[in-house]
Amino acid sequence: MKTTKQQGFTLIELVMVIVILGILAAVALPKFIDMGKDARIASVNAARGALSATAAMAHAKYLVSNPAPATIVAEGITITFSTAFASGYPKADVNLAAAAGLNATDYTLTATGTSLTISPVSAPTAATCSLVYTEPTAVATPPTITVTTTGC
């Protein structure tokens, strides 16, 4: 009786491995495609947190300073306070975004009047994947930060 030793994989075994890998790839691929949207939403929310924290720190500095300053310097960047009302919150300009660590490389920054719009550069539509910082409308009110992520 002679026994033969198997020298490799059969064609059927190789085809089965390829089919299993194909099924796994088909299941995993949609997850990886959707991660871009999740990343843009996270980026907008992170920008909101950074902007909110910077505005709060600038407001705190404004409140403890006597006399109230027109500008402060944070991280080497001059933050100008809103002059429409003596609210002590920063003006909606690109310097506020820069002080928050948001730069033009990663975000589209648009300052118009009393609002600052920030959108990730990778956003398909900036209007539906952005945040808008609006200066206070009265002395005792904080700025509003509106986040839109429907089109991220």
pTM of structure: 0.77
* 135 touches 91 (CB < 8 A): yes
* Residue burial 57-74, b: 16+ Cβ < 10 Å; e: rest: bbbebbeeeeeeeeebeb
- So what's the pLDDT on residue 26? 86
**What is the spatial distance between Cα 111 and Cα 117, in angstroms, rounded to a whole number?**
6
Identity of the highest mean pLDDT range in 5-14, 34-43, 96-105: 96-105
* 129 touches 77 (CB < 8 A): no
Band (pLDDT 50/70/90 cuts) for residue 6 is: low
Mean pLDDT computed over 53-68? 92
Checking DSSP bridges between strand 77-80 and strand 71-74, what pairing results, if any?
Answer: antiparallel
Query: Of 115, 109, 111, 118, nearest to 136 (Cα)?
Result: 115
Residue-wise pLDDT tens digits, 102-150: 999 999 999 998 999 999 999 999 889 999 999 998 888 899 999 999 9
Domain boundaries, the chain: 20-148
Residue-wise pLDDT tens digits, 19-55: 999 998 888 877 777 788 889 999 999 999 999 999 9
Mean pLDDT computed over 51-64? 94
